[in-house]
Amino acid sequence: MNAEFAIELLKNMIYQALTIAAPILITAMVIGLAVSLFQAVTTIHEQTLTFVPKALGVIGIMLLLMPWIVRSLIEFTVSVIQKMPQMLQ
């Protein structure tokens, strides 16, 4: 395996991880921002109010995007397996 191939493989892995994690992280960030804005307006500072909506939102988005995530991971795995003969050269 040469250096260019290894760098390309690493770049693809990082891109794949970011692509899969981004919707989940953005959902948690938006819900957290909305809850903290709600807490600032109403002066309610309950700890469960910050955790439960984030947990439900993240679980919901994961269930919604699960087919896409699995398909994307399978395509990436297949492409890595197909490139294995090039790794030995």
pLDDT for res 21: 96
Report the alpha-carbon angle 10-12-13, nearest 5.
65
Distances (CA, A) of 29 to 12, 54, 61: 25, 8, 13
Distances (CA, A) of 25 to 57, 59, 69: 10, 12, 14
Mind listing the pLDDT tens digit for each residue in 11-43?
A: 999 999 999 999 999 999 999 999 989 988 988
- Alpha-carbon torsion (44, 45, 48, 53), positive or negative: positive
| 87's tokens | 């790794």
Q: How far apart are CA 59 and CA 2, in angstroms?
A: 40
Query: Is the predicted pLDDT of residue 1 greater than 80, yes or no?
Result: no
